Structure 1
């Protein structure tokens, strides 16, 4: 029988090992795969809602500079005078950045966990190709969207990117920035990547939340395809409208 070492006090009595202190419940939950899946799903829902609201708000650009600039000022004046000018807008931005960071970390952690747990190969080449395609699409579309988000914030919210940026005049900034063909191309590529990400994310969201009854697969796929198409068409219309001269300074 193997001997078991037991730590003893000065008087020779056995000392029980100290129990590891648990982290707060939300942290412990997030450390589990189930917790990460729910965080990724819930942050995904929040980000989808933001993307939709952002696209709808930007449609005011077609109403002319006065309407669009008033919309931009409305966002900066949210909850004024309860909070100072632009404070609530910055709180929203910080919340979105945190949600985006949690979404990325949860996705990365789950991918690593799945790779480590995969001890057997796929039963067929078709299954492997399908799973690998979905994984690669989500990974690379996520990277493209993340990099584009940083560019987008600098381009139209913070400093501008080489054109005559004027703070407080979003209509003029959009027209001047997207009037450069290579910037319009960046926006088109990024939003097509966003569409792929939204499609796969919307579809897998139902599975993650447990809403995956086979009877609703057709409706799920229709929602995922429709939502992604709506966002891509709406967002891609902005650089195309500037390039076509529909929106100009």
Structure 2
């Protein structure tokens, strides 16, 4: 009896651990997004300030850390959080697929309780939204590297690279699609993370106070990141 229950107990504990890992790693990345958004908004203070601000990040906490030390620590933490998040998401999705009773490539469906408890449109788009988001992150990182992927023209100035890229409508369009994916992912993901960590005591999502918090956070991130490319493309900020 005890022998047959051990695998189930182990699997249950593993699933809980994966959910906690997913929640914590997601919050780490959210924290970085808020800091990154704050740094992006310094674009409106002009080229000299923006470039000097970014260069100054490499000297934070020196001489206690070497030149660029803090940035490398942040990169390692972010990559670890991203890998953990993706691994947990894929593993939980596979387990859910098995538990849901897929047979012959089809899943049992019901017309009852379509809106369900704790469900939202974003929760149904997390998987494909996550894929789009991962591709967006890869492309954005490549764009941030000096003159490695520089649509509109490369430059030693990060300010000029931002302007050169966002003067192109198709770059802004792709960036917007990526940010919309970020918004939907955060809308459900932030709520889900707080729920996993025991901060949601509501029986229904619509009645949950953190639903409004997750909506605000998602909207803030989208607006904060899109205001720079929109200002460049539609109002010519930084182009003169």
* 1:104 shift after superposition: 0.9
Quick one: structure 1 residues 175 and 134, their matched pair in 2 at CA, closer, same or farther if it must change by over 3 Å?
closer
Structure 1 range deviating more: 208-217 or 178-187: 208-217
Q: Deviations over 1:189-210 (max 9, x none)?
A: 1111100000010121222112
Match of 2:236 in 1: 245
Unmatched 5+ stretches in structure 1: 1-27
Structure 2 residue 209 is the aligned partner of structure 1 residue 219: yes
* 1:90 shift after superposition: 2.0
Unmatched 5+ stretches in structure 2: 1-9, 102-107
Residue 114 of structure 2 aligns to a residue whose secondary structure is: helix
CA distance in structure 2 between the aligned counterparts of 1:205 and 1:166, rounded to whole angstroms:
39
CA distance in structure 2 between the aligned counterparts of 1:166 and 1:87, rounded to whole angstroms:
24
Matches within 5 A, 1:114-125: 114-119=96-101, 122=110, 124=112
Instruction: Kindly indicate whether the alpha-carbon contact (under 8 Å) linking 2:152 and 2:167 is maintained by their aligned counterparts in 1.
Output: no
Quick one: structure 1 residues 184 and 238, their matched pair in 2 at CA, closer, same or farther if it must change by over 3 Å?
same
What is the aligned counterpart of 1:143 among 108, 113, 131? Answer: 131
Structure 2 residue 64 is the aligned partner of structure 1 residue 73: no
* 1:162 shift after superposition: 4.1
Match of 2:155 in 1: 166
> Which has the larger Rg?
1
CA distance in structure 2 between the aligned counterparts of 1:228 and 1:166, rounded to whole angstroms:
32
Instruction: Kindly indicate whether the alpha-carbon contact (under 8 Å) linking 2:136 and 2:178 is maintained by their aligned counterparts in 1.
Output: yes
CA distance in structure 2 between the aligned counterparts of 1:85 and 1:29, rounded to whole angstroms:
44
TM-score (norm 2): 0.82
Instruction: Kindly indicate whether the alpha-carbon contact (under 8 Å) linking 2:25 and 2:85 is maintained by their aligned counterparts in 1.
Output: yes
Match of 1:83 in 2: 65
Structure 2 residue 27 is the aligned partner of structure 1 residue 37: no
* 1:134 shift after superposition: 4.3
Instruction: Kindly indicate whether the alpha-carbon contact (under 8 Å) linking 2:200 and 2:208 is maintained by their aligned counterparts in 1.
Output: no
Instruction: Kindly indicate whether the alpha-carbon contact (under 8 Å) linking 1:39 and 1:106 is maintained by their aligned counterparts in 2.
Output: yes
Instruction: Kindly indicate whether the alpha-carbon contact (under 8 Å) linking 1:30 and 1:36 is maintained by their aligned counterparts in 2.
Output: no
Instruction: Kindly indicate whether the alpha-carbon contact (under 8 Å) linking 2:187 and 2:214 is maintained by their aligned counterparts in 1.
Output: yes
* 1:141 shift after superposition: 1.4
Query: Which aligned runs of 4 or more in structure 1 are off by greater than 3 angstroms?
Result: 28-31, 119-123, 130-136, 215-218
Relative contact order, higher structure (CA 8 A, sep 6+): 2
RMSD over equivalenced CA pairs, Å: 2.6
Structure 2 residue 215 is the aligned partner of structure 1 residue 233: no
TM-score (norm 1): 0.79
Structure 1 range deviating more: 134-143 or 33-42: 134-143
CA distance in structure 2 between the aligned counterparts of 1:165 and 1:78, rounded to whole angstroms:
26
